[in-house]
Every structure is written in C-alpha cells, then in structure tokens.
C-alpha cells in the first residue's frame, strides 16, 4: 500500500510510493529516488521568552532594594524566580530542530535532474555520481588481456658431489 506520493524538487516528476521497506528508514521511497534532508537547530522562541521574563522579573525586584542590599538579595531573588518558572522551563526545550525534506527523481530520468543533482553534491563537498552508462563504457575499456604467465625457471641442477679420492698422501706429509 502506497503511503505517499513523491514529487521531485528539481523536475516536478511525480511518483507514487513503492512497497514498504522498514529496514532503511526511507518508508516507501521508490527505488532510485533520493531523499535530501536539511536539519537546523534553533532556539525555541518560547524558551527565549521565558528567559526574558525571568530576567525582567529579577531586575524589577532588585530595583526595589537599595544598592547596598542588592548583592545580598540578588541570590534569594534569583532562586525565587527560578523556582516559579521551574515547571515551565522543564517542559520547554531550549532548542527546536527545523527539518526540511525534498525528494529527487532518479538522475537517469532526466539530464537536467542529473546535472542539478551533481552540482548540488559538488557544492556540498560530495563527489558527483557517475552515470551507469559511463561506468559500463569505462569497464569495457578497462578490460585488459589476461596477464602473461611469468616464465618458469628451470630448477637448478645440482652438480654431482665429488667423491674424496683415495690417493695415498705423499711420504713427506706422512712422516711429519
């Protein structure tokens, strides 16, 4: 069952979702399509407002005290204001994540899509994807003749060992 219909952000090509595949997190994104997601962390405006209100309350309460007493009272006032806003701050995250997602049709469907897709990849510091047809042509060119077998060296022949001669030693050496 198709959950979504996908529209290419570059070409406007529309495709229905394909079969569910839970293993990769892309739901029913059709084969060959790309999902591009940009996530950005920003301060939560509600959290920022809480901080501004707290700061204003602290400043307003401190203004009621003379300069000499502000330092001593400042800690107590901050603790009191923090306690008043504790539950609200606890339930309000300091940051929000903005997520924008677009889909791109397979680059094989359109030269314009392929060109824009690779330009975007290059701008982001990614290698452009090669066309499958170009890959096949390169593979055909790269096919080389099988390497020639290395010449076999004939095993070295060992010379027959010389047998010691049984000649009699000269007399001069024998009497020495």
Calpha distance 140→103 (Å, rounded): 33
Q: In this predicted model, which residue has the larger pLDDT, 3 or 171?
A: 3
pLDDT at 174 over 80: no
DSSP H stretches of helix in the chain: 45-62, 67-90, 111-123, 132-142, 171-174
Alpha-carbon distances, residue 132 vs 17, 30, 123 (angstroms): 23, 18, 22
- pLDDT at 84 (0 to 100): 95
Name the token pair of 160.
């027959």
Q: pLDDT band at residue 173, thresholds of 50, 70 and 90? A: very low
DSSP symbols for 95-145: EEEEEEEEEE--GGG-HHHHHHHHHHHHHTTPPPPPPHHHHHHHHHHH--P
Contact 75, 132 (CB under 8 A): no
Alpha-carbon distances, residue 61 vs 69, 77, 160 (angstroms): 12, 7, 113
Q: Tens digits of per-residue pLDDT, 58-100?
A: 999 999 988 888 888 888 999 999 999 999 999 999 999 999 9
pLDDT at 132 over 50: yes
Calpha distance 156→113 (Å, rounded): 66
pTM of the model: 0.55
- pLDDT at 131 (0 to 100): 64
State the average pLDDT for the chain.
78
Q: What percent of the chain has pLDDT over 70?
A: 69
């Amino acid at each position: 069952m198709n959950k979504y219909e996908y529209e290419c952000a570059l070409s406007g090509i529309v495709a229905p979702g394909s079969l569910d595949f839970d293993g990769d997190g892309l739901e029913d994104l059709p084969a060959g399509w790309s999902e591009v997601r940009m996530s950005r962390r920003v301060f939560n405006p509600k959290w920022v407002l809480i901080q501004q209100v707290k700061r204003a309350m602290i400043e307003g309460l401190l203004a009621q005290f003379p300069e000499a007493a502000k330092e001593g009272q400042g800690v107590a006032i901050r603790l009191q204001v923090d306690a008043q806003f504790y539950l609200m701050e606890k339930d309000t995250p300091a940051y929000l994540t903005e997520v924008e997602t677009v889909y791109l049709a397979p680059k094989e469907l359109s030269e314009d899509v392929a060109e824009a897709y690779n330009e975007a990849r290059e701008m982001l510091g990614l290698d452009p994807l090669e066309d499958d047809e170009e890959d096949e042509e390169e593979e055909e060119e790269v096919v080389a003749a099988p390497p020639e077998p290395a010449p076999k060296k004939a095993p070295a022949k060992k010379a027959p060992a010389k047998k010691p001669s049984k000649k009699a030693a000269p007399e001069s050496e024998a009497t020495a």
